[in-house]
Structure 1
Amino acid sequence: MTLPSLRESLEAHGLMAKKSFGQHFLLDLNITRKIVRLGGPFDGDVVIEVGPGPGGLTRALLETEASKIVAVEMDGRFIELLGELNSVYGERFEVIEGDAMKVNEMQALVDRSLPPLAHIVSNLPYNVGTPLLIKWLTGPWQPLSMTLMFQLEVALRVVAPVGDNDYGRLSVIAQVLCDCEKLMDLPARAFTPPPKVDSAVVALKPKAERPEKAIIKNLEKVTAAAFGQRRKMLRASLKPLGGEALLEKAGITPTERAEQVSPQEFLRLASLI
């Protein structure tokens, strides 16, 4: 069976993007195939896609050698449209209706005889992109890799080096836990409807050695304190967590500010709290 084009599918089902869901569709299969190619390979693995919408990335993923694609979609309008892919791909494709932000663990949403490890590939809705990333970075369920599209300003924060204007809490948490790389930029005109800002795709690959759960919690705490008052010296912003004594123990100058401290130094602070 030959699938209709994405635009034809949307028209046939009378569907449009919902502003309240932060939806902007990527309908150009040449672009979605490039994203999948840069994020892969996924040979023999399971790939979870959050927020597939009409299925632009989904179709590109199904063209790979991945063993299974699981699409998690909260907008019930798209379930029937996505289900049409089963006519071509059969059991290699599964749609789950649910909200990835409202479950306790990602695994609870996708635990349908799947292996414990899977990749995540997603064109994330702008209004939940950062919270979802933090959830996947710090939560109990760990993906094999993440290939995620964000609005450009968020993507730049993920990969920003220490001292950069975009360097902040998200940079630290992402870079402590993953190797991060910006793969490609996407102009607003690539989307339907076009958003007001450009986008970018980021690859995050979890590091082989992961800090203990308690240290990750401390990392969230110390970065929130430091970057919540980023104009202050660390001896002031971190005073509730130990202040100068903590900083000296970690070998960090108390008069430095948050943007001057590397991810590994923040990890050292988190391990000492």
Structure 2
Amino acid sequence: MVLWGVSEPSTLPRLRPKKSLGQNFLVNEGAIRVIVEAALRTPAPRLLEIGPGPGVLTERLLDDGRPLWAVDLDSEACALLRERFVDRPHFHLLEGDAVRMGLPEGEPWSVVGNLPYNAATPILARLLTEDIPWERMALMFQLEVAQKLMGTPGTKAYGPLSILAQLCARLTRLVKLGPGSFRPAPKVDSAVVLFEPRADAPPLAERKALLALLHRSFAHRRKTLANNWQGVLPPEALAEAGLDPTLRAEGIEPRTWLAASRALASRLPERLAP
């Protein structure tokens, strides 16, 4: 799906975007509607917004009435959000880094966010590998990152994050956006990806070990698995785990990687363990 043209919100709160925080504020009204509708199309009892900035998405999410927690690292944005939503008792602000700060425990979330470009990958990795219950996620990424998430075996885009994400969720690209959909305009296109959890997703306890295996296997994309694991695991160990040591990592599909991770769990060196 692609949105043509840009219709900005009638009132856009003033907030100085900070390049150091990777901030590009969404101003495409059509995209705002798509993201909010996708995030709210779930019975999840709580909403979690990452990187609310001036609160363009926040305002519409709050209209739904569900409790909303917003996480932002920018103190200026947090001051603006406190002022804007002081009369909304179901609005809760968490000032800090979404990559590492603690989140309230409890019922499942619907997660939404125009993720800062410089932190999007570690934020997603955290959501996929930590005990953060979510029923749906609608997240904005740089287009190149979105393409990697949805990459297929044998393609340049396919990699560790593709495999983990596709094992954990069904992914749908909702919309592609050009630079003009943001203020300031970035130099790249962006895309919103919808994540819906898979019933057969690997347990949390297995996911970090899987990532460790994948990062080592993809360390040098042009090399075979045997070469990437040289001096750590012998080719016969890879073969016994269902991985052809003569192949490159990008040629192996996600379910094979999961089975191999389980088979190799006791053989991975401690320094590669999660």
1:70 aligns with 2:64: no
Count of aligned pairs? 256
Distance 1:22 1:144 in 2: 27
Distance 2:94 2:11 in 1: 20
Deviation for aligned residue 1:68? 1.5
- 227, 238, 252: which is aligned to 1:247? 238
Indicate conservation of the 8 Å contact 2:85/2:91, yes or no.
yes
Q: How does 1:103-118 map to 2 (within 5 A)?
A: 103=101, 108-111=102-105, 115-118=106-109
249-258 vs 163-172, which moves further: 249-258
Which deviations, in whole Å up to 9, do the C-alpha atoms of 1:64-88 show, x marking residues without a partner?
3x52111111111122321244356
Gaps of 5+ in 2: 1-8, 265-274
**What is the aligned partner in structure 1 of residue 80 from structure 2?**
81
Letter of the structure 2 residue corresponding to residue 76 of structure 1? S
Distance 2:203 2:171 in 1: 20
Letter of the structure 1 residue corresponding to residue 27 of structure 2? L
Distance 1:233 1:138 in 2: 27
**What is the aligned partner in structure 2 of residue 92 from structure 1?**
90
What SS class does the counterpart of residue 144 from structure 1 fall into?
strand
Indicate conservation of the 8 Å contact 1:150/1:201, yes or no.
yes
Distance 2:29 2:91 in 1: 18
Letter of the structure 2 residue corresponding to residue 248 of structure 1? A
Which deviations, in whole Å up to 9, do the C-alpha atoms of 1:148-206 show, x marking residues without a partner?
10000000000111112211111011112221221110111100000010100011122
Give the direction of change, closer, same or farther, for the CA distance of 1:44–1:268 in structure 2 (3 Å limit): closer
Indicate conservation of the 8 Å contact 2:35/2:112, yes or no.
no
**What is the aligned partner in structure 2 of residue 56 from structure 1?**
56
Distance 1:30 1:251 in 2: 46
Gaps of 5+ in 1: none
Which deviations, in whole Å up to 9, do the C-alpha atoms of 1:56-106 show, x marking residues without a partner?
111222233x52111111111122321244356x22222221211232xxx
What SS class does the counterpart of residue 228 from structure 1 fall into?
coil
Indicate conservation of the 8 Å contact 1:216/1:270, yes or no.
no
**What is the aligned partner in structure 2 of residue 257 from structure 1?**
248
Which deviations, in whole Å up to 9, do the C-alpha atoms of 1:215-268 show, x marking residues without a partner?
322211111111112111112213455342233223332211111001111111
Indicate conservation of the 8 Å contact 1:222/1:241, yes or no.
no
Distance 1:122 1:87 in 2: 21
Give the direction of change, closer, same or farther, for the CA distance of 1:28–1:87 in structure 2 (3 Å limit): farther
Indicate conservation of the 8 Å contact 2:50/2:72, yes or no.
yes
250-259 vs 116-125, which moves further: 250-259
% identity of equivalent residues: 37
Q: How does 1:124-139 map to 2 (within 5 A)?
A: 124-139=115-130
**What is the aligned partner in structure 2 of residue 101 from structure 1?**
99
Letter of the structure 2 residue corresponding to residue 28 of structure 1? N
Letter of the structure 2 residue corresponding to residue 71 of structure 1? A
What SS class does the counterpart of residue 95 from structure 1 fall into?
strand
- 150, 173, 194: which is aligned to 2:185? 194
Deviation for aligned residue 1:6? 4.1
**What is the aligned partner in structure 2 of residue 157 from structure 1?**
148
**What is the aligned partner in structure 1 of residue 24 from structure 2?**
24
Structure with more relative contact order (C-alpha pairs < 8 Å, separation 6 or more): 2
Distance 1:39 1:141 in 2: 16
Question: TM-score, structure 2 length as denominator?
Answer: 0.86
Question: TM-score, structure 1 length as denominator?
Answer: 0.86
Letter of the structure 2 residue corresponding to residue 20 of structure 1? S
Indicate conservation of the 8 Å contact 2:42/2:135, yes or no.
no
